[in-house]
Amino acid sequence: MIRPLFALLMLASAIPALAEEKPLTRIAFGSCADQDRPLPIFEKLADLKPELFIALGDNIYADLKPEKGVTEMESMKIKYQKLAAVPGWVKINKTCPIMATWDDHDYGKNDIGEEYKHKDESQTIFLDFFNVPKDDPRRTQKGVYHAKTFGPEGKRVQVILLDTRYFRSKLKKGTAPLPGMRGLPYVPNTDPGATFLGEEQWKWLEAQLKQPAEIRLLGSSVQVVSEDHPFEKWMNIPAEREKLFKVIRDANAGGVIVLSGDRHLAEISMLPKGIGYPLYDITSSGFNQGFQGWRAVEKNSHLVAAMPHGNNFGLVTIDWMATPSPRISLQVRDEEGEIAIKDTLPLHLLKPGPAVAELPVKPKEGAISPRDALKKKGEKVVVEMKVQATGSSKTRIFLNSEKNRSDELNFTIVLSTKALTGKYEKATKETFANKVIRVTGTVGEFNGTLQIVVDEEKQLEILE
């Protein structure tokens, strides 16, 4: 039964309509709100006037200090009522649409997954609280995953919110605690059947990623990129993390940025490889659960910027008019609403690269790709590649297989002046830009980059 107060608050949480044609420019998000403690940060968040607010889970702590004398589900409803009465929450609700998914504590229990026995009831309570219409697919499907696209063509933001709880297989724990850690660390679950999203949700996600959009905010309650810490994260089931990258690649989906929570810290991480372009994961946690003492920045081999302590929320801003492409600012804001950490990306960085959209030239018989040439140090080979970037010095022309010459997959052809004779006598770097070339030579190394130095005209052929 829904209590009268709850019903009233549900009405109050009616989402103001957003003109879907208007491009989004300010999206706030975050996670981890203990409804039993003050949440002044919500007011700072509302003051920034976001056009959309994404609640990424642990939106309440249903399992901590359960209400006395009522069932687990009644207690959960009371916790939601408490959240609904928080002044900052009321302010957000009045001024901006909310999209939400859940994490463990609002789903039901710490770190729990598909084995949670009240998950269907919990789902109904969640959907009621967020005022999800009766005809919404989430009212009949298992799990709270959903997506919505905002804005006109050319300025579309697709928000995809995953459910990382309903189907997630039980995680595996190690046998020995790590120094300074309570409990046992998670270790990779490599069981072939282990899943994060479950079959249905995977199919749905694949279809979503094929929908047209310029920017895709992929909300996952737990971190996707960060992989070194012993807590919950996608890396707990490595094959599923790989699968996530693969479905993004296979869909040729550009503009993906992960939003995550859960950790009671904030950070921006970036994985240079995996989806064909840099995958950013901006983690904001928590609204009032950020670590309050001092602590060092956690080990994260993909770290861009960290805020290891203090309450926080995330803000993504988009300048659609920026040149040469729209500019996205990923920000973590502190309790005062000030920027604590940020990174700014031009949207063209988030385009599927040669590894996806523009597949490297398939070499003809006897020739190999530049990626294969990277494995042939010291060997004489024939390489065929598309010149993605060029450079020159007084005595040399450099032809690169990747747009960014510091890319770890870059292979370089170095043309010395000795090679620039005969048909290449008047050649400049522009002669080779975007051309497919065939080069014969021995793979050598210079300053950590593998390359072939071409000293004779006959080593080099322009194919197209």
CB closer to Fe ion, 58 vs 227 = 58
Work out how close the CB of 31 gets to Fe ion at its nearest, in angstroms, rounded to a whole number. 6
Q: Taking the CA of residue 376 as centre, how many other CA atoms within 13 Å lie in the half-sphere pointing to its CB?
A: 19
Q: How many residues does the chain have?
A: 464
Work out how close the CB of 294 gets to Fe ion at its nearest, in angstroms, rounded to a whole number. 20
By CB under 5 A, the count of residues binding Fe ion is 2
Site for Fe ion, residues 31 to 50, rule: CB under 5 A? 32
Work out how close the CB of 289 gets to Fe ion at its nearest, in angstroms, rounded to a whole number. 5
Work out how close the CB of 33 gets to Fe ion at its nearest, in angstroms, rounded to a whole number. 9
- Residues 6+ positions from 348 with CB-CB distance below 8 Å: 324, 325
Amino acid residing at 45 = L
Work out how close the CB of 55 gets to Fe ion at its nearest, in angstroms, rounded to a whole number. 12
Q: In this structure, what token pair is assigned to residue 123? A: 């789902």
Work out how close the CB of 222 gets to Fe ion at its nearest, in angstroms, rounded to a whole number. 10
> What distance in Å separates the CA atoms of residue 85 and residue 68, rounded to the nearest whole number?
20
Work out how close the CB of 185 gets to Fe ion at its nearest, in angstroms, rounded to a whole number. 18
- Residues 6+ positions from 355 with CB-CB distance below 8 Å: 249, 276, 409
Q: How far is CA 136 from CA 17, 106, 362, in A?
A: 16, 20, 46
CB burial string 101-121: b at 16+ within 10 A, e below = bbbbbbbbbebbbeebebbee
> What distance in Å separates the CA atoms of residue 335 and residue 270, rounded to the nearest whole number?
25
Binding mask 181-210 for Fe ion (x = CB under 5 A): ------------------------------
The runs of H, that is alpha helices, within 86-180 are: 87-95, 104-107, 119-129
- Largest CA-CA distance found in the chain, in angstroms, rounded: 92
Tell me which residue of 153, 162, 134 sits closest to 56, measured CA to CA.
Answer: 162
Binding mask 48-67 for Fe ion (x = CB under 5 A): ----------x---------
Work out how close the CB of 291 gets to Fe ion at its nearest, in angstroms, rounded to a whole number. 11
Tell me which residue of 349, 316, 350 sits closest to 332, measured CA to CA.
Answer: 316
CB closer to Fe ion, 58 vs 111 = 58
84 binds Fe ion (CB under 5 A): no
Work out how close the CB of 60 gets to Fe ion at its nearest, in angstroms, rounded to a whole number. 10
> What distance in Å separates the CA atoms of residue 71 and residue 199, rounded to the nearest whole number?
32
CB closer to Fe ion, 58 vs 281 = 58
How buried is 401 (Cβ within 10 angstroms: 0-12 exposed, 13-18 middle, 19+ buried)?
A: buried
Q: Are 350 and 254 in contact (CB under 8 A)?
A: yes
Q: Which stretch binds Fe ion (CB under 5 A): 25-33, 159-167, 342-350, 370-378?
A: 25-33
CB closer to Fe ion, 261 vs 354 = 261
> What distance in Å separates the CA atoms of residue 166 and residue 113, rounded to the nearest whole number?
6
Amino acid residing at 427 = A
- Residue 158 phi/psi, 5-degree rounding, is -100, 125
CB closer to Fe ion, 32 vs 385 = 32
CB closer to Fe ion, 32 vs 316 = 32
CB closer to Fe ion, 151 vs 286 = 286
Tell me which residue of 371, 411, 414 sits closest to 391, measured CA to CA.
Answer: 414
CB closer to Fe ion, 58 vs 240 = 58
CB closer to Fe ion, 249 vs 263 = 263
CB closer to Fe ion, 283 vs 388 = 283
Work out how close the CB of 308 gets to Fe ion at its nearest, in angstroms, rounded to a whole number. 15
Which residues of this protein are in contact with Fe ion, per CB under 5 A?
32, 58
